[in-house]
Structure 1
Amino acid sequence: MWLIPLSKADVERAVRRAYSIATEHAKKVGARVEQIAPKHLYGEKAESYGYSLALGRMSPPLPDASLVVIWGFYNADEYFDYVRFAEGGRVVEWFVEPVAYYPEKTAVWADEPLVLHSGFAIETHTTASEQRDRVYGWPLGFISSPKQAPAPVRSPRKMRQRRQEGGEQQ
């Protein structure tokens, strides 16, 4: 994984590519596209963390059929050691680049954007000696999440039982 600072001309192309991946997915599953926000990664705990990443391992509470497309990273924490993105038990990306040293503290993936499906995990680590619960870094990208939660799948057997029970009561 290589990163390029925001001052480079390739940045606009990378962001457009990420957005097009998110919108293509949204069209397929009937979803909306938004920028990644704390509500997507933390759910109800979003206000307590804001735009910072919790230390340790977490799995964002995203609805099924969601897609996350990360095009870059913001890092304002000099002790931010690494972040790993894992999906299905394997590490998809392991980010260790010192973005905090770029003047704008933001960088863009030089390759294709990182595409993750619902159920992925984020693991963060810091080298700070004091006790902390977060690092001041944030993934930049888009999320394509369904407008409605998918309907639960009912087994035909349960549906037949309900019909039979309804018919006996009448």
Structure 2
Amino acid sequence: MDNRYVVWFIPLSRGEAVEAIRRAYGVAQEHARKIGGRLEPIQPKHIYGQEADKFGYTLQIGRIAVNMPPASVLVVWGFYNADEYLDFVRFIQDGRVYEWFVEPIAYYPERVGVWLEEPLIFRGSVYIDVHTTSSEERDRTYGWPLGYYIAPVQPPQEVKPPRRPRRGGQGGRG
């Protein structure tokens, strides 16, 4: 079975794009409701954690490990690309590979591509592979995944195993 999914984008200016974004927002709202969480646009802190200031709204070339806290969800509906050399990104989670060819988006008037299918939904850890055709020595590309990050307002409670009842008479008195 092939676990690779190839995706094509439409420009933001097309009517179907608005419907796809609205659908993704509805999915994100539902996840936020389920976990009692807040919904935010994807920001550098969600992708890079402590290194958010280093890259800002650019993608590091190579592999990015995104580690989300428990119960957090990433909902991706599109991509911004202002870099004609950024040709594809891959989202990898649990053996599934979603490969997005994003180079054409750099030539759309608004540089935003919207995926018409259901949004990608990630929990836990996900890898983002970023590839460029540029021969320049650089560490980043000018592209960014578009979507929503949902995190619980309060972290989930730690589940503790039930305590064992004490047995009478052991190590007891006499």
TM-score of the superposed pair, with normalisation by structure 2 = 0.85
Equivalenced residue count is: 159
Q: Secondary structure at 2:66's aligned position in 1?
A: coil
Map of 2:65 onto structure 1: 59
Matches within 5 A, 1:121-132: 121-132=127-138
Instruction: Please say if 1:14 is aligned against 2:23.
Output: no
> Which structure 1 residue ranges, 4+ long, deviate > 6 Å from structure 2?
none
Decide which of 23, 35, 48 is 2:54's aligned counterpart: 48
Give the alignment's Cα RMSD to 1 decimal. 1.7
Q: Which moved more, 1:79-88 or 1:143-152?
A: 143-152
Question: 8 Å contact 2:90–2:129 — kept in the other structure?
Answer: yes
Between the aligned partners of 1:142 and 1:118, the Cα distance in structure 2 is 15
Identity %: 52
Question: 8 Å contact 2:67–2:126 — kept in the other structure?
Answer: no
Q: Secondary structure at 1:150's aligned position in 2?
A: coil
TM-score of the superposed pair, with normalisation by structure 1 = 0.87
Between the aligned partners of 1:47 and 1:101, the Cα distance in structure 2 is 28
Unaligned runs of 5+ in 1: 162-170
Map of 1:68 onto structure 2: 74
Question: 8 Å contact 2:105–2:111 — kept in the other structure?
Answer: yes
Bigger CA radius of gyration: 2
1:160 is displaced (CA, Å) by 7.6
Instruction: Please say if 1:134 is aligned against 2:140.
Output: yes
Q: Which protein is richer in helix relative to its size?
A: 1
Q: Secondary structure at 1:59's aligned position in 2?
A: strand
Question: 8 Å contact 2:74–2:122 — kept in the other structure?
Answer: yes
1:120 is displaced (CA, Å) by 1.4
